[in-house]
Amino acid sequence: MKKLVALVLVAVMGLSMVGCGKKDSSNDSKSDLEYVKEKGTLVVGVTDFAPMDYKDDSGNWIGFDADMASAFAESIGVKAEFVEIDWDNKIMELDGKTIDCVWNGMTLIDEVTSSMACSDAYCNNAQVVIVPQDKADQYQTVDSIKELTFAVEAGSAGEDQAKELGLNYTAVKAQSDALMEVAAGTSDAAIIDSLMAAAMVGEGTGYANLTYTVGLNSEKYGVGFRKDSDLAAELNKFFTDSKADGSMEKCAEKYKVQAALTE
């Protein structure tokens, strides 16, 4: 499998953070941190997205994001509880308090940063085009993919790219479903996160007959909380500490997230 440009976990210090440090508007008497501590759980909204969030053979959620979320929950004295969500409804799930955060390789697009209190960026990402291996040579430029039919995750950065490029696409529930569409031949191509592509397609994976070709953009991952939540600032402190003590890098190595921590 071709080498994907290494994803870089960016420094959590010196980056701007959206909407931190205020009280949860849904309950003026308690901050979001106090609310989570009182109930004893941090409910984390996820989708099946290896190597960030996925289930092991026992049905437990693991992955780079899942492990970091569990460690963060422990740092504030609560337990992490993972709930699989419809990605297109993530903001509604947050506002309705069915989850407390979205921690799932979430790209910091305008829709996200305007609707959530977001952590500092912790990882670089890109959207890439997935095609069958035997057709890769035909689709190496943006112009060459314009006539293809695509599968994309609803409400994702991949869907945003499909819209921006005027591509013919079908929205599906998850990025893993988009890969299934291409493997089954019901879509010509898919647009997914580069990190997922590195883990899920190509030689030695479950989709050895697929590969990634065109890189469409450059993005950053962040964690989203309810608007004006003080949990975002608390997480930034945790990121700083886990970077300093090496635990973030160790977690990245465990899940083969190609990463280099930088200042």
94 and 161 fall within a common domain = no
Q: Which domain holds residue 175?
A: 127-215
Neighbours of 71 (CB within 10 A): 15
Give the 3-state secondary structure of residue 145: helix
Please give the Cα distance from 150 to 131 (Å, whole number): 10
pTM of the model: 0.75
User: Residue 204's pLDDT is what?
Assistant: 87
Number of domains, the chain: 2
Give the 3-state secondary structure of residue 164: helix
Cα 2 → chain centroid: 22
111 and 239 fall within a common domain = yes
**Arithmetic mean of pLDDT, 81-98:** 95
Please give the Cα distance from 160 to 174 (Å, whole number): 14
Element (H, E) at 88: none
229-252 per-position pLDDT tens digit: 999 999 999 999 999 999 999 999
38 and 160 fall within a common domain = no
**Look-up: residue for tokens 């998850």?**
174
227 and 205 fall within a common domain = no
Question: In this model, does residue 262 exceed pLDDT 60?
Answer: no
Which of 146, 147, 148 shows the shortest CA–CA distance to 132?
148
179 and 238 fall within a common domain = no
171 and 91 fall within a common domain = no
60 and 113 fall within a common domain = yes
110 and 229 fall within a common domain = yes
Question: Is 19 inside any structural domain?
Answer: no
Percent of the chain with pLDDT over 70: 87
137 and 112 fall within a common domain = no
Q: Tell me, what CATH number does 58's domain have?
A: 3.40.190.10
43-58 per-position pLDDT tens digit: 999 999 889 999 999 9
**Do residues 158 and 199 touch, judged by C-beta distance below 8 A?**
no
Question: Is 64 inside any structural domain?
Answer: yes
69 and 136 fall within a common domain = no
Ranges 27-36, 95-104, 184-193, 246-255: which has the least confidence: 27-36
Question: Is 261 inside any structural domain?
Answer: no
